[in-house]
Amino acid sequence: MEYFPPALEELVEQFAKLPGIGRKTAQRLAFYLLDQPREVGEGFAQAILRAKTAISCCPVCQNLTEGEGPCAICASPKRERGVVCVVADPKDVVALERSREYQGLYHVLHGVISPMNHVGPEDLRIGELMSRVAGGGVEEVIMATNPDTEGETTAMYLSRLIKPFGVKVTRLAYGIPVGSHLEFADEATLTRAMEGRREME
Ligand SMILES: [Zn+2]
> Lowest-confidence range among 30-39, 67-76, 96-105, 109-118?
96-105
Angle between helices 6-16 and 23-35 (to 10 degrees): 120
- Each domain of the chain, given as residue ranges in start order, spans 74-195
State the pLDDT confidence band at 200, using cuts at 50, 70 and 90. Answer: low
pLDDT digits 0-9 by tens, 111-134? 999 999 999 999 999 999 999 999
The CATH topology of domain 74-195 is: Dna Topoisomerase Vi A Subunit; Chain: A, domain 2 (3.40.1360)
Binned at pLDDT 50, 70 and 90, residue 95 comes out as: confident
pLDDT of residue 182: 74
The one-character DSSP state at 137 is: -
**Ligand 1 centroid vs 4 CA: distance in angstroms?**
45
Å from CA of 105 to ligand 1 middle: 8
Measure 60 CA to ligand 1 centroid, in angstroms.
Answer: 5
* 59 CA → ligand 1 middle, Å: 7
Compute the distance from residue 6 Cα to the ligand 1 centre, in Å: 43
CA 148 to ligand 1 center in whole angstroms: 26
How far, in Å, is the centroid of ligand 1 from the Cα of 176?
30
Question: Residue 2: pLDDT above 90?
Answer: no
Q: Give the distance (Å) from ligand 1 centre to CA of residue 70.
A: 5
177 CA distance to ligand 1 middle (Å): 29
Residues in Cβ contact with 112 at an 8 Å cutoff, skipping those fewer than 6 apart: 88, 119, 124, 145, 146, 150, 151, 153, 154
Res 44 pLDDT > 80: yes
How many angstroms is it from 107 CA to the middle of ligand 1? 8
- Please check whether residue 77 is in contact with residue 90, taking contact to mean a CB–CB distance below 8 angstroms: no
What SS3 class is residue 166?
A: coil
Query: What are the beta bridge partners of residue 145?
Result: none
